[in-house]
Structure 1
Amino acid sequence: MQWNVSEIENWEELRSFVDTALLPIYLYRDGLGVNEHVLRMNYLLNVAAGIEQKLKGRVLLFPVSYHFAEEQHAQQTPNGFAYKVLLHFRNDRVRAVEEEHGHVLNLSVGDEDLESSLRFEVTVDILYKEIIRHWQARSAQ
């Protein structure tokens, strides 16, 4: 489920099935041009949407959280979700408020070959499987 008007209309009906919040986080850094930022953010959003599609019915994809790297702070996560997943680029140091309790999964995306469709598909495949492993590990506890 994505955070948009057409899908959120069914939120109350589907709420009991959606147990995972997927939060893409983009850190703006000096030194990159606008075109590079647009490419990176678009890639991150597409990876998040690809993961949500593979896990549809159990994941709510939140809008991108945009921060300036110099002002980095602990990411707040929404209440009411058994699982919380932060998605960000590999070199971005992102942490969640609840991270020390093991309730948050941090997934990182490489920023090489962002225009490669093969790399995109492989990245989505690896990351959605990592979320499934996280679900399985947490439910086995």
Structure 2
Amino acid sequence: MKWTISDFDIYQQSKEYVDTAVIPLIPVCLDTDFKTTVSKGEYITHVTIELERQLKGRVYLFPSISYLKNSINVIENLIEWKTNIQQEFKHVIFLTSDESLKESNSELLKGNLVWLPTVPFEHMDENLKKKLMQDQVEQILNILLQSWNK
């Protein structure tokens, strides 16, 4: 389910089955890493859309959180998001391709932050894109299954 009014109505009817919030994290950087940062955001967006499509009825896809790369308050903001969302959803998963978040090692986000290496789609064949997306979603599914089985 996505952050839409029609999906919200479905969520209200089947709330007991939807226990996982998925939140894409999109860094913003306008310096020399501009293009790379855009690529990371695009990749995470594609992965989360595919993940939601495959797990519709079990996950709720929140809007992306955009943040300034290397901002000092990012981790604190994510912890606040997690705390608030866990009032409604048992599992909260943040998806990112930002290495700085991966390296933050925040104990309060352990198990909630999933880092994915970026695959540049810019000049890639559509069939290869689909295959790579499927592989990435399968990896995330494994992480979710471990989380759900705890």
Q: TM-score, normalised by structure 1?
A: 0.77
Alignment of 1:88-99 (within 5 A): 88-94=96-102, 98-99=108-109
CA shift for structure 1 position 46: 2.0
**Conserved in 2, the CA contact under 8 Å of 1:21 and 1:60?**
yes
Partner of 1:48: 48
CA shift for structure 1 position 105: 4.3
How many residue pairs align between the two structures?
138
AA at the equivalent of 2:101: R
Q: TM-score, normalised by structure 2?
A: 0.73
1:4 matched to 2:4 = yes
State the identity %: 19
Q: Partners of 2:119 and 2:68 in 1: how far apart? A: 18
3-state DSSP of counterpart to 2:70: helix
**Conserved in 2, the CA contact under 8 Å of 1:55 and 1:128?**
no
Gaps of 5+ in 1: none
RMSD, aligned CA:
2.7
Gaps of 5+ in 2: none
3-state DSSP of counterpart to 2:57: coil
Partner of 1:136: 145
Partner of 1:31: 32
